[in-house]
Amino acid sequence: MTTILGISGSLRKGSLNTALLRAAEQLMPEGSTLDAAGVEGVPLYNADDEAADGVPPAVEELKRRLRAADGLILVTPEYNNSIPGVFKNAIDWMSRPSSEIAQHFGGKPVALIGASPGGFGTILSQEAWLPVLRTLRTRPWFGGRLLVSRANTLTEDGEITDEATRQKLAEFLAGFVAFAKAG
């Protein structure tokens, strides 16, 4: 069984990206599973807090789940044409202490997806993640791209209902899982 950790980078209850993550849970290819997570409960990074108290429990749990996963999907919103601060903060915390970066991120297959009410999806946010992923020494998957634009018109009751979008997501997931399995 291939396990992929998917993290939604939004705190909103009605998040389009969390809806995309829930759809991904439903559409994983046979022989794989998606462990869906969020960034709730992750405090703002402060090196003084880390020195005094260590890594917070919410972050330790995300790190545990990342270690157990065969791959990682970042489900990224786009705020002001870039990475949402709350999401970047969570990944920054997950890279602490820096001596554990290789253990958690080194060589880990990573994919980026995202949903936006705008017309360009999350193209700039996804591009902005690439230097971060390179620094963490992950293995990004470039075999597919999923930018869900005008996502607010593709959902109903917090679920992605548009069949064309669901089909594209299923194809994306199949490609990424194959990439993660190939090692």
Assess whether pLDDT exceeds 90 at residue 175: yes
| Dihedral over alpha carbons 70, 177, 181, 108 (to 10 degrees) | -40
Label residue 68 by pLDDT band (50, 70, 90). very high
So what's the pLDDT on residue 183?
79
Domains annotated on the chain, with CATH: 2-182 (3.40.50.360)
SS3 103: helix
State the DSSP H helix or E strand holding residue 179, giving kind and residue range, or none if neither. helix 163-182
Q: Is the pTM for the entire model greater than 0.85? A: yes
| 63 closest CA partner among 109, 36, 96, 18 | 96
Q: What confidence tens digit (pLDDT) does each residue in 24-59 have? A: 999 999 999 999 999 999 999 999 999 999 999 999
DSSP 55: S
Average pLDDT of the chain to the nearest whole number: 97
Q: What confidence tens digit (pLDDT) does each residue in 113-172 have? A: 999 999 999 999 999 999 999 999 999 999 989 999 999 999 999 999 999 999 999 999
SS3 80: coil
Task: For residues 131 and 129, give the distance between their C-alpha atoms in angstroms, rounded to a whole number.
Answer: 6
